[in-house]
């Protein structure tokens, strides 16, 4: 029986994309792509998701790439401008799940510094019964430890829980932990998948 639905945040509940800042800054999508793949890439960003202070991450990367110091600092200073809208259809889906009696949780790879700068801007976060933010725990998905933190903190049973993430590796890690992992491709497809799952529970 499914009792708990756990959501990733970025690209599942809300839109986050550094291109919103750097395409305009460089005036060229290709230049922004190179900067975001070679300098301020996702591997570097993950260090802050894992709890490294942004100032430290910026200082370390600027020491390696002093010619990009201004742009690296911009990544930190204009971080909130990288946020887009809520992912279409997701507030309505999460609310309907909560209204049906399911418990709703969040499990995100996100810097604690930056998450709390934007969380109040998105009503969907107010629907959560609990959340785990990697930057506060100093561990990131797909490490099994972060799933254990969520399960233990809220007293959840893995087999009664579903986890939705846009990253297949994170969904697979949840499944390996005993939680049913679903790869997110959009609100409508997710609604259909969850309807099938929840209907199967009732038979």
Q: What is the pLDDT of residue 203?
A: 67
For residue 163 the two structure tokens come to 């986890």
The reported pLDDT for the residue numbered 201 is 85
Distance CA 94, CA 78 (A): 29
Q: How far apart are CA 68 and CA 148, in angstroms?
A: 38
Q: Which residues contact 134 (CB under 8 A, 6 or more apart)?
A: 49, 50, 51, 108, 109, 110, 140, 141, 146
* One pLDDT digit (tens) per residue for the chain, 203 residues: 999 999 999 999 999 999 999 999 999 999 999 999 999 999 999 999 999 999 999 999 999 999 999 999 999 999 999 999 999 999 999 999 999 999 999 999 999 999 999 999 999 999 999 999 999 999 999 999 999 999 999 999 999 999 999 999 999 999 999 999 999 999 999 999 999 999 988 76
What is the phi-psi region of residue 122: left when phi exceeds 0, alpha when psi lies from -120 to 50, beta otherwise?
A: beta
Element (H, E) at 164: strand 161-165
Amino acid 202: pLDDT = 75
CA angle, residues 143, 144, 148, in degrees to nearest 5: 130
**CA–CA gap between residue 146 and residue 1 (Å, rounded):** 23
Could you tell me the end-to-end alpha-carbon distance of the chain, in angstroms, rounded to an integer?
Answer: 10
Q: How many residues in the chain? A: 203
Residue with tokens 């629907």: 127
pLDDT given for residue 113 in this prediction = 96
């Amino acid at each position: 029986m499914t009792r708990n639905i756990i959501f990733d945040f970025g690209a599942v509940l809300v839109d986050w994309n550094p291109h919103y800042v750097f395409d305009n800054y460089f005036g060229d999508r290709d230049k922004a792509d190179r900067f975001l793949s070679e300098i301020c890439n996702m591997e570097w960003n993950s260090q802050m998701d894992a709890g490294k202070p942004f100032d430290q991450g910026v200082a370390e990367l600027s020491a390696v790439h002093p010619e990009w110091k201004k742009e690296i600092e911009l990544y930190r200073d204009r971080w909130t401008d990288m946020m887009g809208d809520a992912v279409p259809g997701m507030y309505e889906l999460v609310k309907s799940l909560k209204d049906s009696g399911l418990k709703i949780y969040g499990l995100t790879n996100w810097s604690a510094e930056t998450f709390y700068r934007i969380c109040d801007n998105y009503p969907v976060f107010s629907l959560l019964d609990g959340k785990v933010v990697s930057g506060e725990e100093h561990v990131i998905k797909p490490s099994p430890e972060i799933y254990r933190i969520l399960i233990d903190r809220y007293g959840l049973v893995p087999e009664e829980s579903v986890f939705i993430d846009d990253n297949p590796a994170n969904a697979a890690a949840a499944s390996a932990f005993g939680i049913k992992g679903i790869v997110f491709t959009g609100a409508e497809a997710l609604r259909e998948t969850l309807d099938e799952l929840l209907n199967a529970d009732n038979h």
